[in-house]
Structure formats: C-alpha cells, structure tokens
Structure 1
Amino acid sequence: MSEESQAELTVSAVGSAADAIATNVPGLVSDKFASKLFAQDPTLWGPAAEDESSKRLSWVGLASSSRPLLDEIASLRSKLTDKGVDHVVLCGMGGSSLAPEVICATAGVPITVLDSSQPDMVRAALDDRLEQTVVVVSSKSGSTVETDSQRRAYEAAFKDAGIDPAERIVVVTDPGSPLDKESRGAGYTVINADPAVGGRYSALTAFGLVPSGLAGADVGQLLDEAAAATPILAADDEGNPGLQLGAALGGTKPLRDKVVLIDAGTKAVGFGDWAEQLIAESTGKDGKGLLPVVVGDSPTGDQLDDELWVRLVATDDDSQPQGIATVDVGGTLGAAFLLWEAAVAAAGRLIGINPFDQPDVESAKAAARELLGKGTGSADAPAFTDGAVEVRTAGPDFLDGASTVPEALKALLAQLPASGYLAVMAYVDRIADQSLADVRIPLARKLNRPVTFGFGPRFLHSTGQYHKGGPADGIYLQITTAPAEDLSIPGREFTFGDFIASQAGGDAKVLADHGRPVLRLHLTDHDAGIAQLQQAIAEVTGS
C-alpha cells in the first residue's frame, strides 16, 4: 500500500468520537469485519438481515466490476455530442439521482436533475433546451412512479417536437425489470446496473456513472480513486478509516444519534446530501438509527449532548477536529463514496440493524398509491384557513384551539421532546423555491435542537425512512403548495399535481400511523403563501 494511496482517505476524531473508535475498532478487527465485508459475507448483521444482505453487497467490488461501462459511456457521449446533444437530464429518485448530482457538481459539469413530481419543476425541465437534450431515465426497480411519469412526459415532448424518443432516451435499470423489458422493446438504449447493489450504495454503478459520464465528468477517475481505497478499507487493521468512521458513527455511548454534517472545505460539492440518504435510509429502522443533519458550513449553536459533528474536509486538510465529539473526514470523491458505504455498514452492525432494507420507504409509497386511487377529492377538510394557508394536522391532535399559522406552529413546536428534532418537509419546486430551505436556521436557533429540511418527494427516498422507522422523537412540518399550473401525465388518469399531493398525503398518513405529530400547511396561493409562512416563522422564532 503506497503512501500516496493511504493519503486518499483521512479520518481523525476527538472526544467521545475518539473514545468510540478506541472502544469498538479492536473488536471489529478481531471479528475480521472489514475483510468479511469485502468478501461479501452476508452474516455480518445477524440472521434476520442475512437474506437481504446476501443480495446487496456487490458494491464492495465496483471499482473493478464497473470498468466495462467506461467505454460504453464514452462511445455514447461521443455519438450524442456529434449530433449537438449536450444537455443531460437525469430522471431519477434517491440513490439514482443523488450521486450523479454530487459527481457533476464536483467535476464542474452541468446536469439537470429532475427528482420531483412537482408540476412547475417538471414543466421547467421540459421547456429547457429540448432540442439539445438527452434524458437518462434511472430506476433500479423499473417501477418507480415518479420516474415513469417523467419519462412519459419527455416521450410526449420529444414526439411533439418531431424528435424520435429512441434517439434521446437512455435507460439505466436492473436487468429484467419492467422498465428494462419495455425500453428494449421501444428501441431505447438500455444500460443495466448490477442488481446486487442497493440504490443508496449505487454511486459507482451505472446509476452514478452513466449520467455523470454523459455530462462530461471523468468517471474513470472515480473508479481509480475507489480502487486505491479498496485494499485500505478491506484491511483488518485498526488504522482502517472505514472502521474508524463506522465506530464513530455507531459506537458512542450513549449513542450520539444526530449526525451533523458540516462542509469544512471538502471539494466534493453537495456531498452531505448524498451521505444524508446513505445514513438515514440505512440506519433508521426498528426504533433505532442515526439522523443526518446537513447544515452547510457551520452548525447552529453549541454542540448538543446527542450530536456527533462530522466535518467534511479536503484531502490535504491537516487541521484538528474541534468540539466535544467531532470527526474530520477527507478523501477524493470516488474513495469517499466507498469509505462512507463501508462505514455505514460497520455502524449498522454496532447499532444492531440491517443497513440494507428500507421498509418504511415502501409503506409511504403504498399509502400514496392508495390516496391516488381515491382521486383528487380525497383531501381532508382543513382544521382552519388563515389567509393563503390551509392548516391540517395528522397524528396526535395538538392544535389546542389555534386559529392562525403562528399559533399552529407554536403548538407543533410545543410537542418537541427534550431529545427530539424537527423535520421540515417541503413539497414545492426544489429549484425555484430553494430559498425556502433557509427557514431551517431560525427554527434551529429557536429550538436549540436539530432541524432538518427536505424537499419532497426527494426526501422520501432518504430521511423519510428514518422519520418513520427511527426513534419516535421527531415532530414534522409539512409544506405543500398549489402549482402555478398542473401538468398531465401522458397515458395516466392522474396529473403530476395529483401525484405529488398523494405523496404528501401518504407520507403524513404513515407518520400519523406511527404516532408522529404532523402540521400540514397547504399554500393555496404560492407567492402569498410563501411570504405568509416565512413571516409566521419569523414571528414564532423572533428572527
């Protein structure tokens, strides 16, 4: 192992994070966890997890097994660019979209990630440079409704513009999926991904590499970086950074289960959003788990007793981590993907969960389908309406006579347990309404507790699993809005507006079924509603 390859990954810790490493890594080494993981041993997480893990461990060898994709991607990109097709749109959700988003942002190459069913966001993508567009449709199962709806919209748009969809749509899916069969029959370019890799571990499969490579990122370099990291992470050695990070994540006593992800100079742009899904969806189940809190370049306030601060640093950063329980993590992007995947697998073993299933993601999908089948008139009447905001609740009734939005917000915040968190879930246009995410900061300052922010339906494939399967200490603020104009889905009886409404309603229903308090604010007029909501939050938080 060369000094150069060793320098590709760095993990350093202080406080109880360092104690967790010192306490847990020797046992992981003694158990040969690392070498067994990279030998794809499905028994590492206990008998109950063995069936699922036996089908989900091929990610450990992707640095080698994904190499045949490189020539195929390069050839396809050359053909497209020769025709002037250089605008890449990725239609995908969760693991199918988050890694390409980070890869392309880090490489400085443009890509449009369409990971929403919000009508205005879909329409904006369809209206953007269609003549130059290639669409990558990514779905592991081949039955993801969001992705299928986006594909249908692009097929119709291409046909309306006199463009053959078969020349502009590239499909990435598991072999034999419904999408695989249908797309081959339609003459589309189909690239199969490794079926023995779960979505959130798929950064270095076709799901991560195809859209990123078509957009112009050097995906071969990612595999080179992962290849350099593989022997380091597979070593049964106390210096193994994957074991160290896994022990810091899953081994503190008591468990610091709020993982605050801080951008402290990392060159991997948006890496926290990718890590958020990996951590939350892998660990948030059986009433246990780690809640990732993506805070940008600085946390809010002093470190709390149940927080682990993880600073994402540059590979050449030699500063020391700061805080009561802090870990500094650095690495080139391809190596970092593999590092975090190995670390979360190790953390799952220490916490005592199966890191490869996601039962509550599936339950939310089922609830959304049920509501969609009832039609658009199935929404409950609001508890009250204040200006441009309809107010509803789900789960325990906590409004206690509230009649204004600020009063309803105060009533929700009063439900926060001492060890709890607030999740803000906004089913809005993720691009046009990006600034809405800023409400997280005054709410966190007011509560002095972790506050997360997720755009729906994107977060359903990420923190949505933790919300329902993790510890029952969360409160939830759901924001929905009427679109400027709805958009039909070709071949479907429902619209994009119907679909996103059913996703929000299904999410609230499953949270309520788990006894979680949910405040649902529906903005009947987008601009007026956003302004009213922001004013209400400012009033409640004193900001």
Structure 2
Amino acid sequence: MSFDITVSGAAAEAVDRIVPQLVSDLVASRITAQDPSLWGAAAEDEASKRLGWTEAVVVSEGLVGDIIALRDHLRSVGVNHIVLGGMGGSSLAPEVITRTAGVPLTVLDATDPSQVLSALRDRLATTAVVISSKSGSTVETDSQKRVYEKAFRDAGIDPTDRIVIVTDPGSPLDQAARADGYRVFNADPAVGGRYSALTAFGLVPSGLAGVDIAALLDEASSVAGRLAVDRPDNPGLILGAAMAGTRPLRDKLAIVPDGTYIVGFADWAEQLIAESTGKEGRGVLPVVLGKDSPEVSLGLPDVQIVRLVESARETEEVIEGEIEISGTLGAQLLVWEYAVVIAGRLLGINPFDQPDVESAKIATRGLLDDRPEPTAPVFSEGTIEVRGTADVVAGEQTLDAVIDRLLASVPENGYISIQAYLDRHAHPRLERLRDRIAARTKRPVTFGWGPRFLHSTGQFHKGGPAVGVFLQLVGTASEDLEIPERPFTFGQLIQAQAAGDASVLAEHGRPVLTLTLGEPVADVPRLLETISQ
C-alpha cells in the first residue's frame, strides 16, 4: 500500500464522527471534480481557480520528457550543479523531493547576503539556475535572477544558456523571460503555490537535479483513486478529519519523523497547513519536531502528534492519542493536499487564499522605498541590540529580563515562534533554540528561517488565533551584495523584511522581541546559554 494511516484517541473519535458526513456529502469526489462550492460562497471565486492540483499527476506527465531532455543536454555540456532560486511552494517541495532521493540541489530561498554570496561562489562554471516564481513578481526570486545574470555575464557565460524559468503563463516573468530568450516551463495557473509539488514547480528543479520524477508521479497516481472516492477508508478524509475535527480542537499539529525514509517532509507540510488554514482567527499550526523534542512527551491537550513511520503498524501498537502515517513521498504529497482542503472545510475557511502574506510584503516595500533610519535599540547588551513591542521591552535593561518577559507572555493555549533572519547554512546551531525554549516554557515552539517562513507560517502568525509570541533574530551583514538595477542591496532587503514583518505583527497586537546580533558567530552560543538558564 502506498499510503497508510492509523488514528487513535481524540483523532479516532473525530474520524468516527466526521468521516461519515464527509462521505454522505460526497466531499472527496467533489474535490476531484473541482467543485468550488465546497468552502462556501465567499471562497467560491478563489476556489474555482485553485483546484487544478487534483489532476496534476496526469497533466505533469507531459512535462517529464522535456525536463529529462534538458537535464541530459545540460550534463552533455558539463553542467552538473543545479541551483533553485524560489520561495515558499517553489522551493519547499523540490527540497523534500531531492533530499529524499539523495540528489544534490542548492536551494536558494534566502536574501541573506552571505547565503546568496556562498551560492554564487559555488561552482558557477558548471551551474544552471532554476528561477521559480508563480506570480513572476516575487522580490526574492527577481533579485536572485539579477545577481546570477550578472555573475554569468562576468564569467563570460550567456545567462540564457544557464537560467531556466518556471512560472505561470502570462506572468511578468514569463513575458520578460521569453522576450530575452530564456527556456521557460509554464505551470498550471489553476494551482496555488503551496499545492504545486507535483507540477512544474516541484518537477523541473528536481528533475534537472537528477530525481526520477516519473517514479514520483507514479507514487502519487497509486493513491489518486483512493482519494477520489467517497468511502470511509479514504485516507484524505481520515487525515482531514483528524487534523481539524477534534473536540476541543487540537490546533497545534506536531509532525514527527520516526523511521520514515522521507527527508524534510514536515517543512513542506508546514507551509501547506499554515498558509491554508491560518486565517479569520482560526487555523491549525504545524509544529516541526524531532523524536526527542519536548512537546512529544508533554501531553499538551492542544497538541496532536502525527508520527511519520516507515511502515504501518497494528492499531494496538500505535501510541494512544497519536496519528501514525506511512507511505511513499508522491502519495504523501497528494494525500496531505486533499486533507488540508478538507480541514479548511471543517474549519469554515477558504484554504486557497493567503490574505495576511501580502501585508508583510507591503510593509517591506514601504521600507525599501523610504529607507528610514533604523529605529534605535531600547538597549544593547554586548553586541546584541534589543528592540520590540512595549509590552516586552519597556523598562527593561537586560537580555535575561526581556527574554523572561516575552516567554512569560505566552498564553495557556499559545505558542512561541522563533524567526531567524540569518544564513541558515552558517548558523545551524540556532535551531537548538527551539527545543530549549520548548523545554523551558512547556509550550509548542516553531522555528523559521527568514524570509522563507514569510511565505509559509507567516500567514498563520497574523491570520490565525492571536496566541503567538515572536522572537526575531536578525543578523548584520559583514559583506553586502548589490542587486543589479535595484536601489537596494540584499542586506537592506532582508533588514526591511524583518522590520516590515515585525511592524505588521505589532499592529496585530502580537508581542515581538527583536534581537540584532552584531557578531552572530559569538552571539549565537551566548543566546543559547541565556535561554537555557
């Protein structure tokens, strides 16, 4: 079986109560038939343009030959290193697909100048770059395209030989790229970014990197029939009901890899769930955990554990109260897409829009246009500057005190979000903060690298339940990088993204603590020690 799910405890009760009604309402077959009325009148217009992913497996089969032919051509001229410039749905699916296949792919979903420079300086002579943007106007991918064009030209390489474009037909990027002579792959415009794993956005970079994408589509096809029928054993109905139907709602979904061969699946699922459900004050917050993370054993009443395992076990072997899932990657991608739109129906929200993602983009653009002087820190401790909302920083003069105050503000049903606007390859130790804060607060903690999380959990932070508190970690660039024909640098862009999101969070009444690390190499271990005390 390509996909198996076993539920217990509150999740099993939700499935027993809800799935029969979903079957009676023909929800599975109506999703497959692309019925936009399933999410109510207010969502119908958006839903009518966003259900193409249900037939992505069939549509995408026609892309495989062209992708493989281009891969073979690139290899024949000595190109053996693929870089992906993309954000959100354009980067997260290819990352899990290639990591699971054990195929190298440099994912550049960043604006940190040191991370961009590291990518630019890595094997440029044998590199091809996939620039991937659904809208064709994403500031991060536009900036990445510009610096790679310049780097190739400076090296005497024609950029049109090395840059491949993936975008929606008719987008600004599609029009400009075709006019300039670039190779363009168009994706289905009836598929939203976070549902695009099995479209050109997931397949082009993965296939060029060397993944067997035909096999991936076969894996998804093997479960498609089960997902389309209105039966109580439909895995999409079961997972959707378990995710959004518990009473009271366990609105933090902790995803724990425990023996699965799939690498990084929770990072992809995080965007799918958070951006689809976090709106109108409702939603399910995905929390990416390890097997030994504190939340796994805390028994929190608002946390639902989903364990990704190697193979299905008997019901009596499943840990009471948990959900266990096994399956191939292609099957998992399609099942979770069905489950999340079903969860949206149960929550009474539109799973296809992302109204609060744009607010942070608008704030960022405003800061880039005006470029005001940075706000003075409330105080500094060593090389760490402290800023934040008044409820966190007012009257305090020590790092310990503001951290204590932020963590003390977490409500009983709340969560902490750590947001690191730093080079994720240079500072992997920062992720240790997640478990340390969870152990200290005994509440769920999410960790996101900025700005990539803005295209993921950023929607939930502003649109979901108002129970989050936010720790921003911002770096200072030792070496900045100009963006050709743009009036700002990468360093200025990432600073504006952090400040813009902080301002929007503050406007929504969310507690925010921003720590600017003047010397990240020294400040990161110091911060870890402070949190642990």
Q: Could you tell me the TM-score, scaled by structure 2's length?
A: 0.98
2:348 match? 352
Report the CA distance shift for 1:52/1:378 in structure 2 as closer, same or farther (over 3 A).
Answer: farther
2:216 pairs with 1:222: yes
Candidates 324, 327, 343, aligned match of 2:339: 343
Structure 1 position 403, deviation (Å): 0.9
Runs of 4+ residues over 4 Å off in structure 1:
316-324
Question: Would the aligned equivalents of 1:12 and 1:321 in 2 still touch at CA under 8 Å?
Answer: no
In structure 2, distance between residues paired with 1:70 and 1:482: 42
Candidates 511, 528, 531, aligned match of 1:534: 528
Structure 1 position 529, deviation (Å): 2.2
Candidates 270, 294, 313, aligned match of 2:309: 313
- What amino acid maps onto 2:384 in structure 1? V
Question: Would the aligned equivalents of 2:432 and 2:528 in 1 still touch at CA under 8 Å?
Answer: no
Structure 1 position 405, deviation (Å): 1.1
Question: Would the aligned equivalents of 1:371 and 1:378 in 2 still touch at CA under 8 Å?
Answer: no
Candidates 384, 388, 392, aligned match of 2:387: 392
1:24 match? 18
Residue ranges of structure 2 left out of the alignment (5+ in a row): none
2:377 pairs with 1:382: yes
Candidates 247, 260, 271, aligned match of 2:265: 271
Candidates 372, 395, 406, aligned match of 2:368: 372
Q: Secondary structure at the match of 2:7?
A: strand
Q: Secondary structure at the match of 2:166?
A: strand
Q: Secondary structure at the match of 2:425?
A: coil
Residues 208-253 of structure 1 show CA distances to partners (whole Å, capped at 9, x for unaligned) of: 0000000000100111111111110011000001000000001001
Structure 1 position 323, deviation (Å): 4.3
Q: Secondary structure at the match of 1:85?
A: coil
Question: Would the aligned equivalents of 2:253 and 2:286 in 1 still touch at CA under 8 Å?
Answer: yes
In structure 1, distance between residues paired with 2:364 and 2:258: 38
Candidates 469, 475, 494, aligned match of 2:488: 494
Question: Would the aligned equivalents of 1:388 and 1:532 in 2 still touch at CA under 8 Å?
Answer: no
Candidates 169, 180, 187, aligned match of 2:174: 180
Q: Secondary structure at the match of 2:165?
A: strand
Candidates 66, 75, 84, aligned match of 1:81: 75
Candidates 430, 435, 455, aligned match of 2:429: 435
Question: Would the aligned equivalents of 2:429 and 2:524 in 1 still touch at CA under 8 Å?
Answer: no
Structure 1 position 397, deviation (Å): 2.4
Residues 371-417 of structure 1 show CA distances to partners (whole Å, capped at 9, x for unaligned) of: 11111x432111111111110013x5232422111111001111110
In structure 2, distance between residues paired with 1:526 and 1:228: 47
Structure 1 position 452, deviation (Å): 0.7
Question: Would the aligned equivalents of 1:91 and 1:151 in 2 still touch at CA under 8 Å?
Answer: yes
Question: Would the aligned equivalents of 1:247 and 1:346 in 2 still touch at CA under 8 Å?
Answer: yes
1:362 match? 358
Residues 183-224 of structure 1 show CA distances to partners (whole Å, capped at 9, x for unaligned) of: 111111000000000000000000000000000001001111
Question: Would the aligned equivalents of 1:38 and 1:60 in 2 still touch at CA under 8 Å?
Answer: yes
Q: Secondary structure at the match of 1:478?
A: strand
In structure 2, distance between residues paired with 1:441 and 1:225: 34
Structure 1 position 152, deviation (Å): 0.4
Candidates 319, 327, 331, aligned match of 2:327: 331
Question: Would the aligned equivalents of 2:100 and 2:261 in 1 still touch at CA under 8 Å?
Answer: yes
In structure 1, distance between residues paired with 2:210 and 2:48: 34
Structure 1 position 538, deviation (Å): 2.1
Question: Would the aligned equivalents of 2:293 and 2:435 in 1 still touch at CA under 8 Å?
Answer: no
Structure 1 position 480, deviation (Å): 0.1
1:4 match? none
Q: Secondary structure at the match of 1:329?
A: strand
- What amino acid maps onto 1:26 in structure 2? P
2:32 match? 38
In structure 2, distance between residues paired with 1:484 and 1:532: 19
2:443 match? 449
Structure 1 position 296, deviation (Å): 2.0
Structure 1 position 322, deviation (Å): 4.2
Residues 318-353 of structure 1 show CA distances to partners (whole Å, capped at 9, x for unaligned) of: 575644531111111111100000000111101111
2:195 match? 201
Question: Would the aligned equivalents of 1:484 and 1:526 in 2 still touch at CA under 8 Å?
Answer: no
- What amino acid maps onto 1:333 in structure 2? L
Question: Would the aligned equivalents of 2:312 and 2:324 in 1 still touch at CA under 8 Å?
Answer: no
Q: Secondary structure at the match of 1:93?
A: coil
Which has the larger displacement, 520-529 or 124-133? Answer: 520-529
Q: Secondary structure at the match of 1:77?
A: helix
**Identity %, equivalent residues:** 57
In structure 2, distance between residues paired with 1:427 and 1:535: 20
- Structural mapping, 1:238-253, within 5 Å: 238-253=232-247
Candidates 471, 474, 481, aligned match of 2:465: 471
Q: Could you tell me the TM-score, scaled by structure 1's length?
A: 0.96
Candidates 49, 66, 70, aligned match of 1:72: 66
- What amino acid maps onto 2:454 in structure 1? L
Structure 1 position 314, deviation (Å): 2.0
Candidates 180, 186, 189, aligned match of 1:192: 186
- What amino acid maps onto 1:314 in structure 2? E
Candidates 53, 64, 67, aligned match of 1:59: 53
1:142 match? 136
- What amino acid maps onto 2:380 in structure 1? T
Question: Would the aligned equivalents of 1:89 and 1:113 in 2 still touch at CA under 8 Å?
Answer: yes
Residues 390-447 of structure 1 show CA distances to partners (whole Å, capped at 9, x for unaligned) of: 10013x5232422111111001111110110000000000111112111111110110
Which has the larger displacement, 318-327 or 347-356? Answer: 318-327
Question: Would the aligned equivalents of 2:418 and 2:445 in 1 still touch at CA under 8 Å?
Answer: yes
In structure 2, distance between residues paired with 1:304 and 1:316: 25
In structure 2, distance between residues paired with 1:319 and 1:271: 23
In structure 2, distance between residues paired with 1:454 and 1:320: 35
In structure 1, distance between residues paired with 2:227 and 2:143: 39
Structure 1 position 63, deviation (Å): 1.1
- What amino acid maps onto 1:383 in structure 2? V
Give the RMSD, CA atoms, in angstroms.
Answer: 1.1
- What amino acid maps onto 1:241 in structure 2? P
In structure 2, distance between residues paired with 1:532 and 1:245: 41
Question: Would the aligned equivalents of 1:372 and 1:498 in 2 still touch at CA under 8 Å?
Answer: yes
- Structural mapping, 1:294-305, within 5 Å: 294-300=288-294, 301-305=297-301
Count, aligned residues: 531
In structure 1, distance between residues paired with 2:486 and 2:527: 33
In structure 2, distance between residues paired with 1:64 and 1:399: 54
